[in-house]
Structure 1
Amino acid sequence: MKKVFKKNSFNWACCLLFLFMVTGCAKDDDVAIASIDDFAGMWQCEEFDNNQLLIAIFQVEILLHPTVSNKILIDNFNLLGVGFQAEGIISNTQVQLDLQNIGGISVSGSGFLSDKKQKIEMQYTIDEGTGQEEIITATFTKI
């Protein structure tokens, strides 16, 4: 009788362990797959100017481009003000800012969606017309 009890106890323990292992696993969000809609919304931007060692914290709104399906508009880009928009090209989790002029400032750079689609990590250069480019590292956090 003791032998049967020990065998059954061992089997039950194995079953419970297996059950905990299976139910304890949660699928992580796969950030390797994203849609353009994951970029849209309000974001808190924390910029660090590598040249001047300055930090700026402000909000931007990312809008879907009204006519081009793989583009976004980043409103208040680089704290230039509402209505000043950088245009980004989206490819899965990547965003590319081709060279463009926003309110007299030349901008180009790139970034990617991270942290379960709650952050965008970017690096871009700006030139305010002086010929000296400033390198900006920015983290956008979804609000």
Structure 2
Amino acid sequence: MQPIRARLWHVPQMLAILWGFIHRTAWLPRVRPYRTDLRVMAQITRAGWVRVLRDARGPAAFIARDGALVHALYVHPRAQGRGMGRALLEEAKRAQPRLELFVAEANEAARSFYAAHGFAEAGRSDGAGNDERLPDIHMIWQRSPAP
């Protein structure tokens, strides 16, 4: 499983993964028009921030990262439990000595996933700094120094 740089033609399938998550997640409000998500996904894809993993049906998982800051990591339900999220995160860890992200406090599955992959809580907020205005947790992973 080797992540590749996302291309503009991957954008519709990556958005389907993102929008599917939003629709399946009762606690997550829809705060942006679809058009805005499309514009932003195209911009960050052009900028080279997005890596994607494919299966036989096309893009099945993606990560959006600007340097050390992970903005998003989503896996299609058909691909969950197959190591795709781990593979995307491991590639990011090889590229950076430190990663950080913000995860919604209500997203227990994501919090557990990141904790299992070495991320530690660095702080909490009331959500004033995110689009959804939901309480979130700042998590950081730091590569261990070589012995």
Q: Would the TM-score normalized by the shorter structure come out above 0.5? A: no
Relative to its length, the structure with more helix (as a share) is: 2
TM-score by length of 1: 0.27
Relative to its length, the structure with more strand (as a share) is: 1
